[in-house]
């Protein structure tokens, strides 16, 4: 049986009109790009993540002004299942429904496996993988009750291929592909889809800072650092923009993507085509 999601108003149609989206880790970078794209497409959004309170306030006010959407903030720590449940309830209590869940919060760690501390491993797995289990677990009953939903997990090219010095991150990101497939299979007849987006290198404040540092310490020209160091694995030799990830997530969240589920979808300039 097909149970349709709420339809946009005729005449002023935006593809996510009437939807409510929760994006974890959306105070910066890719998560903020996705939240902005959803808000421009008509959705109300729950923003989550760390940062200075005044900067978070400015971000949310700016997003609301720019898009006309309503946004609320949850400070939930993605390593804490209790706080995650409170965050999902905030969405349901504020807006009365939850249509789109994006598990985006993530941290990166680089180092040889024998020098990765147990604490670092646990933190990377908790934020990049276990948090998605905890959000999905509490969001699914509401999606089922309301007749459908969309779950999008932000994985990585490192969910599809390995790379030295990234043991915890690569293991967690590979894990989220498995979780994506299982959730897709368990919800396939419930008008709920679950997919993973696998970005390569994306231009975020972190990438910008990393580039500046490499140029300073390596003494190499900026273009050379970009091509041969940062984008060594990325054949198209350009960073993806957060707006590209936001646009793709918006499509996956829309009615048009109803038959895409259980997929790991790269936006990586050809990285995983090697
Ligand atoms: P970012 O550091 O700009 O943003 C990470 C967000 O997660 C921030 O809002 C931060 O406050 C939040 N966060 C971190 N720990 C948290 C916690 N314990 N609880 C709640 N929020 C927490 O990073 P980004 O580059 O935008 O990365 C976003 C996602 O995209 C991550 O899952 C990352 O692995 C993935 N990714 C990024 C790239 C890239 O090139 N930037 C490439 C592939 C995948």
**In this predicted model, what pLDDT tens digit does every residue of 121-147 receive, in sequence order?**
999 999 999 999 999 999 999 999 999
**In this predicted model, what pLDDT tens digit does every residue of 6-40 receive, in sequence order?**
554 556 789 999 999 999 999 999 999 999 999 99
Residues 141 and 98 in one domain: yes
Residues 35 and 93 in one domain: yes
Residues 148 and 214 in one domain: no
Q: For residue 98, what is the domain's CATH number?
A: 3.40.50.720
Q: Is the CB of 166 under 6 A from ligand 1?
A: no
Candidates 38, 40, 73, 169; catalytic one? 169
Residue 188 lies in a domain: yes
Residues 65 and 181 in one domain: yes
Residues 233 and 148 in one domain: no
Which two structure tokens, joined as six digits, stand for 204?
A: 């975020």
Give the rounded percent of residues in the chain with a pLDDT score beyond 90: 92
Distance 244 CA to ligand 1 centre (A): 16
Residues 164 and 258 in one domain: yes
Query: Could you tell me which residues are beta bridge partners of residue 47?
Result: 23, 73
Q: Is the CB of 84 under 6 A from ligand 1?
A: no
Residue 274 lies in a domain: no
Residues 97 and 196 in one domain: yes
Q: Count of domains in the chain?
A: 2
Residue 4 lies in a domain: no
* Mean pLDDT of all residues belonging to the chain: 95
Residues 160 and 49 in one domain: yes
Residues 146 and 48 in one domain: yes
Ligand 1 atom having least distance to the Cα of 30: 26
Cβ-count burial 85-107 (b if 16+ within 10 Å, e if not): bebbebbbeebebbbbbbbbbbb
Q: Is the CB of 74 under 6 A from ligand 1?
A: no
**In this predicted model, what pLDDT tens digit does every residue of 205-246 receive, in sequence order?**
888 988 998 899 888 999 999 999 999 999 999 999 999 999
**46 pLDDT above the threshold of 60:** yes
The rounded distance, in Å, linking the Cα atoms of 82 and 238 is 40
Query: What's the domain range around 57?
Result: 20-201+240-269
Q: Is 73 a catalytic residue?
A: no
Residue 209 lies in a domain: yes
CB 99 within 8 A of CB 19: yes
- pTM comes to 0.95
Residues 155 and 214 in one domain: no
Q: Is the CB of 30 under 6 A from ligand 1?
A: yes
Sequence-distant (6+) residues with CB within 8 A of 39 are: 45, 63, 64, 66, 67, 68, 69, 71
Residues 109 and 215 in one domain: no
């Amino acid at each position: 049986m097909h149970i349709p999601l709420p339809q946009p108003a005729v005449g002023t149609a935006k593809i996510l009109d009437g939807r409510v989206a929760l994006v974890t880790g959306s105070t910066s970078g890719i998560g903020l790009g996705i939240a902005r794209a959803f808000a421009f497409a008509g959705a109300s959004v729950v923003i989550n993540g760390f940062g200075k309170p005044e900067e978070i306030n400015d971000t949310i006010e700016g997003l609301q002004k720019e898009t006309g959407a309503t946004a609320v903030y949850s400070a939930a720590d993605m390593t804490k299942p209790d706080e995650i449940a409170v965050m999902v309830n905030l969405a349901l209590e504020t807006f009365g429904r939850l249509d789109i869940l994006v598990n985006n919060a993530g941290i990166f760690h680089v180092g040889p496996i024998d020098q990765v501390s147990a604490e670092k491993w646990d933190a990377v797995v908790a934020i990049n993988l276990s948090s998605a289990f905890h959000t999905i677990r509490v969001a699914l009953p509401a999606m089922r009750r309301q007749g459908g939903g969309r779950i999008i997990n932000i994985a990585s090219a490192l969910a599809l291929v390995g790379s030295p010095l990234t043991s915890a991150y690569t293991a967690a990101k590979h894990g989220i592909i498995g979780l994506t497939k299982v959730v897709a299979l368990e919800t396939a007849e419930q008008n709920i889809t679950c997919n993973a987006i696998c970005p390569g290198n994306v231009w975020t404040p972190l990438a910008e800072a990393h580039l500046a540092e490499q140029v300073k310490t390596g003494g190499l020209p900026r273009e050379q650092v970009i091509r041969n160091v940062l984008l060594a694995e990325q054949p198209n030799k350009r960073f993806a923009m957060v707006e590209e990830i936001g646009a793709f997530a918006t499509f996956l969240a829309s009615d048009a993507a109803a038959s895409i589920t259980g997929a790991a979808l790269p936006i990586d300039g050809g990285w995983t085509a090697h």
